[in-house]
Amino acid sequence: MSDAYQRICLLHYHEIGLKGHNRASFELRLLHNAEALLKDFPLVAIHRVSGRLVCFFKEKTDRDTVLRAAELLKIIPGVARVSSGFKCPRILDVMGNVACCALEEVPHFETFKVQARRNHTDFPTNSMELNQRIGSVLCEHFPDKRVLMKSPDVVVGIEVVQNAVYVYAHSERGIGGLPVGSSGRVVCLLSSGIDSPVALWRMARRGAICIGLHFSGRPQTSDSSEYLVDDIAHVLERSGCIARVYVVPFGNYQKEIALSVPPAYRVIMYRRLMMKVAQRVALREGAGALVTGESLGQVASQTLENLQCTNDATTLPVFRPLIGCDKQEIIADAEKLTTFEISSQDASDCCTLFMPRNPETHGSLDQVHESEAVLPLERWIDEIMSALEVHDYNCPAYKKPKK
């Protein structure tokens, strides 16, 4: 019976709906992102309909394929909820039959309710009457189930629009936020650790196009961290959250810094050089800010004084989405993002290279500037920029910078 009706996914959003005159541009950005990320599915089209995006699938598309599409759609920034169901004509008897089909596909439930939404008053039956009419059909079809108005196991949604009705019973929460590409570009310092992928993901959820910048300890260490960062980037690209990653072989510059500055200030100097390189990459990419995974007080380089020393190295804003988070909160996000297991693997990277026994926790800008004066920073930055290695990923909102 369900094969007689076209399968759909409804994309609900919250924040986009508050955008006033700019709302259409946010909807179109989300539409294009979803369309590109569903390229391997039997999709006919995605349309904007009455405060929703509707994904229409080809005839005879099976339920499992649509559910797999829904699993992908719910992790796309900007999507607050994904509902899988059917399109049918605006005929009450047909709507009742389709509602039964939709509810039959829910594997385990004891209670349900009907939630109708009439978007066009040219349909004579109002929302309350629809709830009652469709609800009575479902009660007859499922005599062993009961109606529960508050917190039921399943909500059967009925969306009446101008020329059709969308009916669904399978619905899951998305990650919300804004569509990638609606808030400009940022350059994110990306390690193979737990924190920085979460920081990047949080910025993508706010609509930013994220460019990763990975500092490898190569050639002083192995390149194992680069493979983990590539694995992390492949996870992030499933939802269009990362556009590209620049890799910097950084080990030799760390060695030079370790030989030239007071041991306690090594880490601060590493971070300052990273920020200066990140600013040059941002200039190349047309990015408006830098992003790090730092959390206040988590390690020696993340005290207030040392963060100030790091900020002083760049004129761009530095965003720290995790600044007020504890480690358990960050781990919970990494597990939700599915990068935690990758980040938990051992890898040699620049973060532990030439670490002093007692790093400075209250850095002085005067001491920083004095120590930095002996370093050929401009020459180093030019060398690094000419040696950058670029890896591109699938981000529908991204366009490569002009040379």
Residues 6+ apart with CB under 8 A from 278: 187, 189, 213, 290, 314
The model's pLDDT over 181-225, given as tens digits with 9 standing for 90+, comes to 999 999 999 999 999 999 999 999 999 999 999 999 899 888 899
**How many other C-beta atoms can be found within 10 angstroms of the C-beta atom of residue 377?**
17
* C-alpha span between 192 and 178 (Å, rounded): 26
Average of pLDDT values for 79-87?
A: 96
The model's pLDDT over 230-242, given as tens digits with 9 standing for 90+, comes to 999 999 999 999 9
Q: Is the pLDDT of residue 300 over 90?
A: no
160-169, 293-302, 341-350: range with lowest mean pLDDT: 341-350
The model's pLDDT over 14-59, given as tens digits with 9 standing for 90+, comes to 888 777 788 889 999 999 999 999 999 999 999 998 789 999 999 9
Q: What mean pLDDT, rounded, does the chain reach?
A: 93
* C-alpha span between 332 and 201 (Å, rounded): 13
Average of pLDDT values for 85-102?
A: 95
What b/e sequence results for 129-163 when a residue is b if at least 16 CB atoms lie within 10 Å of its CB, and e otherwise? ebbebbbebbeeeeeebeeeeeebebebbbbbbee
DSSP reduced 3-state for 170: strand
Long-range contacts of residues 340-346, Cβ cutoff 8 Å, at least 24 apart? 340/194, 342/192, 342/228, 342/231, 342/232, 342/235, 343/192, 343/193, 343/194, 343/197, 343/228, 343/232, 344/194, 345/192, 345/228
Q: Is the pLDDT of residue 349 over 80?
A: no
Confidence of residue 352 (pLDDT cuts 50, 70, 90): low
> Hey, what are 7's tokens?
């399968």
Q: What is the pTM of this model?
A: 0.92
**How many other C-beta atoms can be found within 10 angstroms of the C-beta atom of residue 104?**
13
DSSP reduced 3-state for 49: strand
* C-alpha torsion 182→187→191→193, nearest 10: -40
The model's pLDDT over 251-287, given as tens digits with 9 standing for 90+, comes to 999 999 999 999 999 999 999 999 999 999 999 999 9
* C-alpha span between 103 and 117 (Å, rounded): 18
Task: Write the DSSP string, 174-232.
Answer: ---SB-TTSS-EEEEE--SSSHHHHHHHHHHHBTPEEEEEEEE-TTTS-SHHHHHHHHH
Q: Is the pLDDT of residue 1 over 70?
A: no
| Cα torsion angle, 203, 204, 205, 208, sign | positive
pLDDT of 177: 95
Confidence of residue 360 (pLDDT cuts 50, 70, 90): confident
In DSSP terms, which residues pair with 186 in a beta bridge? 210, 289
Q: Are 175 and 79 in contact (CB under 8 A)?
A: yes
Q: Is the pLDDT of residue 353 over 90?
A: no
Residues 6+ apart with CB under 8 A from 121: none
The model's pLDDT over 281-291, given as tens digits with 9 standing for 90+, comes to 999 999 999 99
pLDDT of 26: 93
pLDDT of 122: 86
86-100, 137-151, 293-307, 326-340: range with lowest mean pLDDT: 293-307
The model's pLDDT over 135-183, given as tens digits with 9 standing for 90+, comes to 999 999 999 999 999 999 999 999 999 889 999 999 999 999 999 999 9
87 φ/ψ angles, rounded to the nearest 5 degrees: -100, 140
| CB-count exposure of residue 338 (10 Å: 0-12, 13-18, 19+) | middle
Residues 6+ apart with CB under 8 A from 151: none
**Enclosing H/E stretch for 378:** helix 377-386
Q: Is the pLDDT of residue 321 over 70?
A: yes
pLDDT of 358: 83
Strands of 185-189's sheet in order across: 318-319, 289-291, 185-189, 209-216, 244-249, 389-392
* C-alpha span between 264 and 187 (Å, rounded): 28
Q: Is the pLDDT of residue 325 over 60?
A: yes
Residues 6+ apart with CB under 8 A from 386: none
| Cα torsion angle, 323, 324, 328, 331, sign | negative
Q: Is the pLDDT of residue 3 over 80?
A: no
| Cα torsion angle, 361, 365, 370, 372, sign | positive
- Relative to beta strand 289-291, strand 185-189 is parallel
Q: Is the pLDDT of residue 351 over 70?
A: no
Q: Is the pLDDT of residue 77 over 90?
A: yes
